[in-house]
Every structure is written in structure tokens, then in C-alpha cells.
Structure 1
């Protein structure tokens, strides 16, 4: 499992604005503008932060589980059981990254000037109900009202 987790870390750390640090409970955390978007544990656990409504939809759609320690929080857990799970782990971390980058843009901070939210959402290829929820949740930034 370590090789798959290492590959996920290698991939995510290349995104603009992402910094990595040791996670306090082991593994590697991903930070954007000093705020954690998620972390990975070598045993194959990926935890990420998102809005509560999006979290509920991810769980309902079977795309993630409630957080393994804080099940009532806005955090979710994705379990990497094989190399085939790497793509979905990265996709979920990308969603957390998208949420953070758009929140920063609303505050006038742009960590990635080439970032195109609409294109990103299409590439994530979520089920239509989750895609609609994400677009609604992030609508202030997606409709041009964000400060860029």
C-alpha cells in the first residue's frame, strides 16, 4: 500500500499552492495557504475536508465513508485497498483542493491563475447529483463573482 500512497502524495504535491507536511497522527498532510485540505496514512487511508452537504452526498453515493474517527464532521475517509483506488483518491483530494482554491479566490488570493473551475468539475466526473451539488455549493466562485 505504501507505493500507492507515495504515488498519491507525489501527484498531489505538484498542484499549485500545495505544500506537504507530516501529519500529527502519521502520514502526510496537504496544505493550501496553510490550511489542511486532507491527508494520507501509509495504511491506505485518505481523509479530506469538504463541506458537510458535499460530504453527505459523497457518503450517500458510496464514494467515501464518514471519517473513521470523526464520523459526524465534514471530513470523509476513502480507503485505498489497491492500486486501482489511486485515481478515486486523487479525484477526492482534487475536490477538496478545488473547494479551498475557490474559497481563497473569494478572498482575493489566487494560488493558481491557470485554474479553470468549470473545466476541473467536468474532469472530476462525479454523478450528476453530486456534480450539481458541488456547482451549487461553489456557485459564488463559479459564476464570476469571485475576486480573482
Structure 2
């Protein structure tokens, strides 16, 4: 693995609820509550599992490419060619992670009540259309504040 991919794996694997496993086509996959949110390949390819609506916005905004093998799926690809690409990969992986956390919270499963998705979303600095999509999709969950 490249140094950049190693750095990504190291960071993402420390997020609450994230498990890593070897990916069937090489590299490392990231799982949250038994579901894959994405994976990295040794050659610097980051593939993310999202929804088609999120995928479409990411493609329109130029934040990711269609998946390198399944271009019509809900998956997207982000290429890490140098250390300068790591923040972009981390941003998209964090988006996929937050999407999964919010979906779980909607079902009453909270992997870490200390995580404030609203704050995380602001930190990601997503384009307005993508931020609006996430907030609209999870309005009910984001409006609920975890008891302190």
C-alpha cells in the first residue's frame, strides 16, 4: 500500500464503530454495523458506497468519478494520486460514514452519542446542494438531539 492509502486506513479505522477487513478484490474495506461504507485499493483507488442521489450530486459537483467498474451503480471512485488527495478522500469517506451513522440513528441505533453529525457536516464544508440533500434526507434524525 502507498503511504497515502496507509494514512487513510489508519485514520478511518479509528472512527467509532468502524471495522476493517480485507477487500475481496484487494485492499481494505470499511464496515459500519456490518455494512460496507467504502474501501481502498492498494493502487490509490477509494470506492464509496452511497445512494444514487448522493452519487449524482458528487459527479455533478466534480467531487468523485463514476465507479471504475460499475459506472451506473450508486458507487463512486475517488483517486488518490498523491498526499494532496488524502483530504478529499477523507472528506468523502467521512460523508459515507455520517450517512451510515444517521441511517442507524434513524432506526434507534447509536454507535457513539458523542458524535454530532450536524457539526461534522459543517466541518466537511460540502457544496450547498450536497449539504441540503443530506440534511433533507435525515432532517428527522438531525433535528433530534442526543440527551446529555
1:115 and 2:112 correspond: no
Return structure 1 stretches of 4+ with deviation > 2 angstroms. Answer: none
Structure 2 residues not aligned, in runs of 5+: none
1:31: how far off?
0.3
Instruction: Give the distance between the partners of 1:58 and 1:81, measured in 2 at CA.
Output: 19
Q: Deviations over 1:45-80 (max 9, x none)?
A: 000111111110000100000111111111100001
Instruction: Give the distance between the partners of 1:115 and 1:42, measured in 2 at CA.
Output: 30
Instruction: Give the distance between the partners of 2:60 and 2:34, measured in 1 at CA.
Output: 30
Say how many residue pairs are matched: 146
The match for 1:4 is: 4
The match for 1:140 is: 140
The match for 1:93 is: 93
Aligned 1:1-148 pairs, distance under 5 A: 2-144=2-144
When the two structures are superposed, what TM-score results if normalisation uses the length of structure 2?
A: 0.94
- The secondary structure found in structure 1 opposite 2:15 is coil
Instruction: Give the distance between the partners of 1:135 and 1:127, measured in 2 at CA.
Output: 12
1:138: how far off?
2.1
When the two structures are superposed, what TM-score results if normalisation uses the length of structure 1?
A: 0.94
Instruction: Give the distance between the partners of 2:134 and 2:102, measured in 1 at CA.
Output: 12
